[in-house]
Amino acid sequence: MEQRTKVDLKAPYLILIGEEDDPTYAKTGFGIVQWRPDIVAGQLRFPGCTVDLGVPDMTVKEAARQGVGSLVIGVAPVGGAVPQQWWDLMEEAAWAGLDVVCGLHLKLAEHPAIVAAAGKSGARLIDVRVPPPGLPVGTGIKRRGKRVLMVGSDCAIGKKYSALALDQAMREVGMNSTFRATGQTGIMIAGEGIPIDAVVADFVSGAAEVLSPDNDDDHWDVIEGQGSLFHPGYSAVSLGLLHGSQPDAFVVCHDATRTTVSGWEHYGLPSIEECIETHVQMGRRTNPEIRCVGISVNTSALSKEERTTYLAELSARTGLPCVDPLIDGCGEIVRYIRQHIAEESTES
């Protein structure tokens, strides 16, 4: 039932890469392949494209024949303008009955040829930046199951990656977990979700409630965070997400060498301790059991030795597992969670 208030995508995907020759512009495509190889049927590349996701090349015709569900735009167009070739391809996909899924500032609905094609075939044109209609106001009513939310000392600090890595680590040890996406790339990876920062303020908590509904007592929702409680522009979305998620646990995401809010350099970052305290204080309003279960640090700017020292010191200071998820994975955080939360009674 909650599906109706989420963006939900039809797998498997054909990922459009186009003529891209810089892998950094194709990070959405790479992210989908990295985390969900099971839902990727192939990639569509134009002649001269040097980026390779390492999955089969495929035309729209072949994709349609193989039952592919969606053409997913996995790349940002260089310079922002969408080449005519893309439009033609999206129209072809829509004719062939593939949903067209996109998180760019394309207005698919403003292209009559694509709209007409989709209308004939029954394909959907899905902008993953647009929240579903009918989101409710948050009730604050306790739901069954466990939840862990990624929070950050800043935006763009590894919350999505940390959530995906933690979800993977949980499933590797046999836990029952689901990654819950709150941003466009996350939604493409999960195949569903809600772009929470595009939701009208009054409905943010309600959207977060819909995103992680009632579940089995031993189930964990691993929720991608957005923004930061400390961000002068984006704190509203973070508090609504915190209150609506009712997390039992949270992971602080941080960058070892960042000292100011990215793009808002007149603001310093909070200390990790302040970050933990503030999230506990605000989060206990809807879940009195909330606690920090780990710190996920981007240490890419540190040498191997510096990294080891940094994480060990941080762990000693906070008593929490501190990892760089890209290097260490999130196994340590999973162990901490199982020790401190999962073995408690789930009746709370």
Residues of this chain that bind a copy of itself (CB under 8 A):
137-141, 196-202, 204-206, 227, 229-230, 232-240, 243-244, 261, 264, 266-267, 278, 281-282, 285-286
CB of 198 or CB of 302, closer to a copy of itself: 198
CB of 50 or CB of 235, closer to a copy of itself: 235
Cβ contact 29:74 at 8 Å: yes
CB of 236 to a copy of itself, least distance (A): 3
Q: Which of 49, 45, 259 is nearest to 154 (CA)?
A: 259
Pairing, β 99-102 against β 125-127: parallel
Letter string b/e over residues 330-340, b meaning 16 or more CB atoms within 10 A of that residue's CB: bbbbbebbeee
CB of 153 or CB of 299, closer to a copy of itself: 153
CA gap 102, 184 in Å, rounded: 9
CB of 206 to a copy of itself, least distance (A): 7
CB of 119 to a copy of itself, least distance (A): 23
Q: Which pair of tokens denotes residue 104?
A: 């760019």
CA gap 12, 24 in Å, rounded: 23
CB of 240 to a copy of itself, least distance (A): 3
CB of 316 to a copy of itself, least distance (A): 26
CB of 142 to a copy of itself, least distance (A): 9
CB of 226 or CB of 298, closer to a copy of itself: 226
CB of 1 or CB of 141, closer to a copy of itself: 141
CB of 88 or CB of 202, closer to a copy of itself: 202
- Which residue type, as a one-letter code, is found at position 58? M
The three-point CA angle 123-57-112 to 5° equals 30
The three-point CA angle 7-12-17 to 5° equals 90
CA gap 148, 166 in Å, rounded: 9
